[in-house]
Amino acid sequence: MPYLQLTLPCSEADQSRYERALEDVGALAVSLQDAHLDAADEQAIFEPGVGEIPLWDEMTITALFPADTDGLVLLAAMESFDPGLDWSQVRFAAVEDQDWERTWMDLFQPMRFGARTWIVPWNHALPDEANTADAAIIRLDPGLAFGSGTHPTTALCLRWLDTLATNGELQGRNVLDFGCGSGILALAAMKLGATRATGVDNDPQAIIATADNAERNGVSIDTFMPADEPAATYPVVVANILASALDALAETLAARTAPAGRIAMSGILAGQEHELLLRFAPWFDALRVEREDDWMRIDGVRNAHPVKA
């Protein structure tokens, strides 16, 4: 299956802004490469996190889009999203997806989040530390959907779910994963004791990846595009999307969270949390912020304040 590949040079200082713009316009996958290495020696890093995986002063950022994407329209959308960045050196090319999948398989290693949660590549041996009776093992192949656990936003949400399970607040619950990507958070919730999980995403590739990963892990996850999502309430809601999307979806997320239910939201850059705390304050109590590198998670408890019709 071919894709439209976008490449451009960027500095470490601007990397987060470029990545946000690419995600906002619908990038299916993003990687970084050291601009000072020869092409044969470069190693792509999927979902890079500052401090978690070394970054370089100068790098090449690469993103994939559906093959039928209009490059000129895409460029205009990115310039509109962040006109302060230099988009003049963007280059487009048609590529196949095999090399991307192979690179991801070479780089992705087992990772632990919290007390019990393990994310393990589907074809990787289980680490000795994960071979315990209470370990929550998620076998994952994200394909071209976001969510392998390597990005700080995903890690923040995984640790939150692990803590809920440790505190007995996840067992037997229904969970909504809004912006499910690879389905990693819905899968973790099921492995940690949730009774049912629902994944919602506006990317058809994410719906496919979530269904595939659910089958690989022997669990069932209901998946919907936003237009098809049934109106329901959940005692646990997690939304790992962009801050702008969280702002736009505040009333929807509040309506989906049951009274006294728990919510966690990420995809928030440091500095963006203040406006979101104000935005969600009418419907959620005990709001608090957790930070990892340049990324934030907000979590809280749903109060009885009604959502405007």
Cβ contacts of residue 173 below 8 Å, gap of 6+? Answer: 189, 193, 194, 195, 234, 235, 236
Q: What are the structure tokens assigned to 146, written together?
A: 């976001």
240 is an annotated ligand-binding site residue? yes
| 138: number of Cβ within 10 Å | 28
- 75 closest CA partner among 8, 146, 137: 8
213 is an annotated ligand-binding site residue? no
SS3 content of the chain, % helix, strand, coil (to 5): 30, 30, 35
Identify residue 140 by its one-letter amino acid code.
L
- In terms of DSSP H, where are the helices of 39-124? 71-81, 98-107
Q: How far apart are CA 272 and CA 289, in angstroms?
A: 11
154 is an annotated ligand-binding site residue? yes
CB 246 within 8 A of CB 239: yes
Residues at the binding site are 154, 179, 201, 240
Would you list which residues are annotated within the binding site for S-adenosyl-L-methionine?
154, 179, 201, 240
